[in-house]
A and B are shown apart, each in its own frame.
Chain A
Amino acid sequence: MSIDLSQFHQVFFEESYEGLDIMESALLNLDPANVDAETINQIFRAAHSIKGGSGTFGFSQVAEFTHVVETLLDQIRGGERELTANFVELFLEAVDCIRRMMNQLEAKEPCDIPEAATIRKNFEDILAGKDTGGGSPSPATIADEAKADAAPSGWKIYFKPGEDIMRTGNDPLRMFRELASHGPLTVSVVVDDLPSISGIDPEKSYLRWNLELLANVDKSAVDEAFEWVVDESEIVIEPLGGAEQAIAATEAVSPAQPATPVQPAAQPESAKPAVADLPAQTNTQTTAPAVTPAVVSAEKASAPPATESKSAKVDKSKVEVSSIRVGIDKVDSLINMVGELVITQSMLGELGRDFTMDKLPKLLEGLDQLSQNTRELQESVMRIRMLPISFTFSRFPRLVHDLSRTMGKKIELKMIGENTELDKTVMERIGDPLVHLVRNSLDHGIEKPEDRIKAGKPETGVITLNAYHQGGNIIIKVQDDGAGLNRDRIREKAIANRLIAETDKLADEQIYDLIFRPGFSTAEKITDISGRGVGMDVVRRNIQELNGSVEVESDPGVGSSFTIRLPLTLAILDGQLVRVGEHVYILPLISIVESLQSFKGMIHRVAGGCDVLRLRNEYVPIIRLWKIFNIEPEYRDLDDALLVVVEGDNMKVAILVDDLLAQQQVVIKSLEENYRRVEGVSGATILGDGTVSLILDISGLIKLAGVRRDEYKRVKNDSGRAA
């Protein structure tokens, strides 16, 4: 039977990543001075599983690499070796290395991590200081291979099992069956040891056997049948037939056979102790050295084809598989909901079969129930996509550990609300912005220890990650107790970059908000931690793409706090329905700043033919939806229509619509998957009456309408000057 192992790869990768995360966080929590046995055990188990799995699924590089890691862990676990801070760092490097190997393997790329060899060498050097405990094949393997050519016509076997053989579930019959599978087997039983009937313990074995196997097989095949019982049994295996054969086989096999005079001299070194242990019973010997090799060779023989079939698979299935682990309680609640839905459905079906008007109240009640079921079902389904934010938070302890070492700062990371749940997609995409914010706090926020002491603060700075739910949103706060944002420097920088005019009077929040503008970076010297050209503007843009927002608060000398607000899911959107002619579109509610009835005095025409709305001291470009989508509106005149001011891509635009309709939650259907990408439209949804409505993408619309950012800036700056 051939089984395609690649079907288990995805699960293997997932659990390996989990194992690596466990190793990493356990390592970070380890105090070398006070090692907790269970923590070491936990790390060992994770490494052990990764090794076992990677070996089984054909990822030999990972298996070999992890083997040295596991061996050292095992020695520490067994108390043979002390854990030092250096070991912890080395283990962390190894975790990274394994993770990268996994990444490559998962991407079906050849596994090639340049530093793997160095790290492995480090482990081997440490291990070489002492007994390595496994790894390289034992000398017995070689002996086993050497004797493989001596295959006689059959074997004579004496087998006296230990009394308790049955209690380990080993049935001698099983062994005979296995031997018989090689060729004709003669079995004769010796009952001399059988006690009188009153003395018999039915659970014990009192029998001995003499067997003759007529088969031209290696001794290892015979050994294999007794592999599991060899230690507690007396087993003598001799070749059947001619004398030369007997000698050839005895050399490797049967050191304690007195009938063969040549034998003691030729006896292999390793077998001597076994003889010494068995002084009286000259006709018996143990076959212990042969146990391991039998397995080694079996594995050797079968490993290469497995690898081949795997690599052949690789090209065929370049499909991105992603799965999600869901708690059983969530699935149960889903099944429960479906159950209730079925009940409601059958009740409504019953009503409909012979409906009369007097059953109307019942019908309405049933419909009510149906809508409740649907809502609950929707919520349950959404919950399936929700994961605790600890999935994202878990990477930070390591990040902070490493970065504070590099930067010579003392930093403690606090994480609160790690069990707050968030949609999987949102989670995946919030990771990078969060990393950026944390790096930023580390680099610019927290001061050096000496500066902190001077400022009268504790030497160790604190960065807090806090996640919690608020309304239909999730809030993630990144807080530090560092120096806070430097108001004056931001202002100077903004003026130098022409983001604001020198005369502009801005409130503190407005100044702090400037750091999210494109092309803004106050870092005087570029470190490799932050300030690599990727600025806070990218952070804000990424968060906005998730329909979220980010704000900063800061108190000089006390610290700064970044607040990210995200929708719980990307699959459902709070939308504002707007009408243009006969069409209904949806604007994301979060992007709407205000809606107003326009009148002549507010509209200006600027050079280039673009209409702008003067909104207090800002000029906002006007976008006519009917023009962009080429449809017939009810009102062409700006005076009759309504303007919805929305914000996207760091700028405001006013969208001209005929009417504002309801606000409602809509389920987003991807247009790209079902049709193709359309500029200005981020998706579609189905409204209550069954019609399809397009969800508008503000930044796409801005591009479509040809509103240029500099134009907006220019009119804005003009307005600033005018005011």
Chain B
Amino acid sequence: MPKILAVDDSASMRQMVAFTLKGAGYDVIEAADGKQALDKAKTTQVDLVLSDVNMPVMDGIALVKELRALPNYKFTPILMLTTESAGDKKMEGKSAGATGWLVKPFNPDQLLATIKKVMG
């Protein structure tokens, strides 16, 4: 079962994402900030990371940089959850090494479509 790491400081978003992905048969690991996510990614190899950008402690951009520096996560797809208005965040995320993005607000179907696109 493919493992997805869902990172968001908002519990409701995390729950929504986790519920949707679990329903589609993915194994979901949750983290509330970049630091937690990094720790979890180090102990468990995940197949995809889905991360919010604005988070306390360590934000999504820093998380991507840290992950890409790990040999295990060089090529792992990392998607950023951004908002429509944050165009420069997308670019910042990309140059940090993010694979792509998903624009908030999104609904469960859009989320699954994007994940499927990446995971095949």
Contacts and interface: CB of A to CB of B under 8 A. Distances in A.
Interface in A25-64: 42, 44-45, 48-49, 51-57, 63
B74 A174 contact: no
Interface in A645-683: none
B12 A292 contact: no
Interface stretch (A161-169, A189-197, A509-517, A546-554): A161-169
Nearest to B64: A168
B45 to A, nearest CB: 14
Interface residues of A, number: 52
A213 to B, nearest CB: 16
Nearest to A303: B107
Interface of A is mostly: helix
Given A45-B55, A49-B9, A168 B98 contact: yes
Given A45-B56, A51-B83, A63-B105, 16 more contacts: A2-B109, A11-B12, A11-B15, A15-B11, A53-B13, A54-B105, A56-B105, A57-B12, A67-B85, A71-B85, A168-B99, A169-B98, A170-B77, A178-B117, A203-B74, A302-B110
B103 interface: yes
A11 B11 contact: yes
A316 to B, nearest CB: 20
A5 interface: yes
B109 A228 contact: no
Given A71-B85, A227-B100, A302 B107 contact: yes
B111 to A, nearest CB: 10
Interface in A631-646: none
B15 A299 contact: no
B108 A1 contact: yes
Interface residues of B, number: 46
* 4 A-B pairs closest in CB distance: A55-B105, A134-B85, A228-B100, A12-B12
A52 B109 contact: no
Interface of A: 1-3, 5, 7-9, 11-12, 15, 42, 44-45, 48-49, 51-57, 63, 67, 70-71, 74, 133-135, 166-171, 174, 177-178, 203, 227-228, 231-232, 292, 295-296, 298-299, 302-303, 306
Contacts of A51: 83
A43 to B, nearest CB: 12
A134 B86 CA distance: 8
A49 B103 contact: no
B12 A299 contact: no
B56 A15 contact: no
A2 to B, nearest CB: 8
A133 B9 CA distance: 24
Contacts of A1: 20, 23-24, 108-109, 112
